[in-house]
Chains A and B, each alone.
Chain A
Amino acid sequence: AQKITQTQPGMFVQEKEAVTLDCTYDTSDPSYGLFWYKQPSSGEMIFLIYQGSYDQQNATEGRYSLNFQKARKSANLVISASQLGDSAMYFCAMRGGNEKLTFGTGTRLTIIP
């Protein structure tokens, strides 16, 4: 079975500061993929970044980077230079051998001007 844990239900960050959203996972699959999605109040799920379990380097996409620590089973999302538009729910997700995406409970990020 797969499990994603996000321990931060809510976070408040000053605009322009960096923020780290925590995500830990548990799986018995030797190969898996880790995803981060952003969900604004409109409800749509916006793909942010992907990390494969065998990737040697941490994934980066613009202001987003993924701090992947395989031994600790963590895949934290780092947002640099936060903007007011970053305020949203953020979900960590994992896809393993059964091809299904398992989501964490999410973190509500609020950027303070």
Chain B
Amino acid sequence: GAVVSQHPSRVICKSGTSVKIECRSLDFQATTMFWYRQFPKQSLMLMATSNEGSKATYEQGVEKDKFLINHASLTLSTLTVTSAHPEDSSFYICSASSGTGRETEAFFGQGTRLTVV
């Protein structure tokens, strides 16, 4: 199957700093990428949808100024958590699709465990 690479896998940062997470599709062009957040023992919650070359679409309740998403190319999307605080500590995971349609499989990255101290 297709490969999506997400980095870093773990990051610890100080409160008030910003953290950038990268999501790369390695062997296909991802027209759409999705960013999810997962709290311990909970399900994945969609944060935003990014399409190459356009602004991301954020889900209700997600602060777009805090979670900056950039999808500059068909193989790379980045999520920047700005001015991180301890409550931002979570597992963030991206997924990428090569096209649209209900049957289109979403390939997931390995996830990033963010801890803000």
Contacts and interface: CB of A to CB of B under 8 A. Distances in A.
Given A43-B91, A43-B113, A45-B95, A101 B106 contact: yes
B46 A32 contact: no
A20 B110 CA distance: 26
A104 B109 CA distance: 19
B91 to A, nearest CB: 6
B33 to A, nearest CB: 12
Contacts of B32: 99
Which DSSP category, helix, strand, loop or mixed, fits chain B's interface?
loop
Q: Which of B43, B46, B95, B105 has most A Cβ within 10 Å?
A: B43
Interface residues of B, number: 24
B61 interface: no
B67 interface: no
Contacts of A105: 42-43
Nearest to A105: B43
B102 A52 contact: yes
Interface in A23-76: 31-33, 35, 37, 42-47, 50, 52-53
A98 B5 CA distance: 25
